[in-house]
Amino acid sequence: MQVLILAESEVGRLAEEGLVMSAVEEAFRLDGLGQVQMPEKSYLTFSEYHGDLRTMPAYLPSLNAAGVKVVNSHPENPKAGLPTVMALVILNDPQNGQPLAIIAGSALTAIRTGAAGALAAKLLAPPNAERAGFIGGGTQARQQLKFLMRVRPIRSIQVYDIDRKKAEGFCEYARQLGISGATVAAAAQEPAGEPIVVTTTPGQGPVCGAEAFRPGSHVNAIGADAPGKQELPPAILSRAKVVVDSREQAAHSGEINVPIAKGLYRPDRIHATLGEIVAGKKPGRTADSEVTLFDSTGVAILDIALAKKIYDLAVGQKAGKIVGLDQS
Ligand SMILES: NC(=O)c1ccc[n+]([C@@H]2O[C@H](COP(=O)([O-])OP(=O)(O)OC[C@H]3O[C@@H](n4cnc5c(N)ncnc54)[C@H](O)[C@@H]3O)[C@@H](O)[C@H]2O)c1
């Protein structure tokens, strides 16, 4: 048995932004049509280390793509010089179960999440929004901005981060992407007042009050992806049209998980999954004044769909390293 090993450098080279966007949109469309298998992710919780490890399986028959991602979230890692999120993807052949590839998944996780946020913004955000606010200015915020710029003509951003250096670094990154107006905000309510708001903190409570969010805005809530995590005030959920990437995962570990546990939000108030909107089964934004909110937990169909596209490219280009796993 032989498997192809693909390192982060190869994934970075092969996964150009257009390919990532199309893989993510296709995965959501198939999900909306009910044509995927995706059990909820399962968690190991390392409370003594303030982190967790998840397994995320998915099968997309029409893409002939199956496998599992293993990914962590350890928000204190950057203090030790490690990323918060690190991942590996194992791809298997659906026909016989044979492992095909082991693919470095950290960049893949970051970019598919950025593309999912951009897709949500494309379908839900005010059409001509030129400004965006960021709460949290780390790894994921950069991907969110990079992909958001593909779907909206963003000219200025402001960012709040509890670590001012992170906010300054994010502004520098935004300038490199061609954003002329990039400023550090003094408090979270400032970016929360923009037409597009992106939250990417590992927060355990609301970053600001509901009054900070303006009518007609769109919020990409990305950071809450495990039980107990929360970034937004529950009152904004009650005002907003809430779209999730997975109903089950959102209720268990997304932005709505804490409000549901406290009886402040009901899962039957979810408007749609993003897949249902992509597939044309549910409408996206229907009024200029409504607040729309995408609750992203991170779904395995994105990882496996994108990993398969990268694998096919790598095989075609003879990229990566083939390793034999049989007994010697
Ligand atoms: N939904 C998804 O699919 C998905 C994918 C990747 C990461 N995540 C989650 O997103 C979060 C961020 O991931 P990352 O890789 O960007 O981590 P990161 O450590 O690179 O960045 C997080 C940033 O948030 C800042 N921050 C922390 N608390 C804050 C607060 N209360 N207010 C403002 N800023 C604050 C930190 O200083 C840091 O700069 C994590 O919770 C991670 O699990 C979700």
Note the pLDDT tens digit of each residue in 103-113: 999 999 999 99
For residue 115, being part of any structural domain is answered with no
Give residue 99 CA to ligand 1 midpoint distance, Å: 32
pLDDT at 305 over 70: yes
pLDDT of residue 203: 84
Could you tell me the two tokens for 72? 């962590």
pLDDT at 16 over 90: yes
* Residue 237 to residue 41: CA distance in whole angstroms: 24
**Same domain for 315 and 283:** no
List of residues 6+ apart from 60 with CB closer than 8 A: 27, 30, 35, 36, 66, 301, 304, 305, 308
**Same domain for 200 and 74:** no
Helix (H, G, I), strand (E, B) or coil at 92: strand
Residue nearest to atom 33 of ligand 1 (CA): 161
pLDDT of residue 328: 61
Give residue 167 CA to ligand 1 midpoint distance, Å: 12
- With a Cβ cut-off of 6 Å, ligand 1 is lined by 73, 75, 78, 84-85, 109, 113, 135-141, 160-163, 166, 188, 200-203, 207, 222-223, 225, 296-298
**Same domain for 312 and 233:** no
- Residue 255's domain comprises 126-298
Residue nearest to atom 11 of ligand 1 (CA): 223
69 is known as an active-site residue: yes
Per annotation, catalytic residue among 41, 69, 166, 229: 69
For residue 168, being part of any structural domain is answered with yes
**Same domain for 267 and 242:** yes
How would residue 193 be classed by pLDDT, with cut points 50, 70 and 90?
A: very high
* Residue 203 to residue 178: CA distance in whole angstroms: 29
Return the ligand 1 atom nearest residue 166 CA.
39
For residue 114, being part of any structural domain is answered with no
**Same domain for 141 and 288:** yes
**Mean pLDDT, rounded, for 277-281:** 98
Number of domains into which the chain is organized: 2
